[in-house]
Amino acid sequence: NAGVTQTPKFQVLKTGQSMTLQCAQDMNHEYMSWYRQDPGMGLRLIHYSVGAGITDQGEVPNGYNVSRSTTEDFPLRLLSAAPSQTSVYFCASSPGGGGNYGYTFGSGTRLTVV
């Protein structure tokens, strides 16, 4: 089992560029979520999905889009990158939402916007 696979591991973008962070899981988990981790701030929820075709905003959704066309994949799109989006991004999945199940995290994507 690969678990949760995130790509790329590192990325440098110029301000205004767009890109997609990929997240895939092979555990048939219904719940998937994206977080950003900034120094001194802890992890913050960007967007989440409770199943294919269903997404919702988290605490810090501005500047990001998501879609969930399949159970396995949950890509995160940066529409027009800004230096404030420099962060480490984690994708996680869980059998269900509500915090009632354990979470499996991807290895993270370190994004720098210059």
Partner 1 sequence: KNEVEQSPQNLTAQEGEFITINCSYSVGISALHWLQQHPGGGIVSLFMLSSGKKKHGRLIATINIQEKHSSLHITASHPRDSAVYICAAPGNQFYFGTGTSLTVIP
Q: How far is the CB of 71 from partner 1 (least distance, A)?
A: 20
Which of 59, 62, 80, 83 is in the footprint of partner 1 by CB under 8 A?
Answer: 59
19 binds partner 1 per the rule CB under 8 A? no
Q: Where are the beta strands (DSSP E) in 8-67?
A: 10-13, 19-25, 31-38, 42-51, 54-57, 64-66
Alpha carbon distances (Å) from 14 to 65, 90, 101:
18, 21, 38
62 binds partner 1 per the rule CB under 8 A? no
Which of 7, 12, 26, 41 is in the footprint of partner 1 by CB under 8 A?
Answer: 41
90 binds partner 1 per the rule CB under 8 A? yes
One-letter amino acid of 40: G
In terms of CB distance, is 16 or 66 closer to partner 1?
66
Which of 2, 10, 28, 40 is in the footprint of partner 1 by CB under 8 A?
Answer: 40
Task: Please tell me whether the peptide bond between 8 and the residue prior to it is cis, using omega within 30 degrees of 0.
Answer: yes
33 binds partner 1 per the rule CB under 8 A? yes
Sign of CA dihedral 24, 76, 8, 44: negative
Q: How many Å apart are CA 61 and CA 56, to the nearest integer?
A: 9
In terms of CB distance, is 15 or 107 closer to partner 1?
107
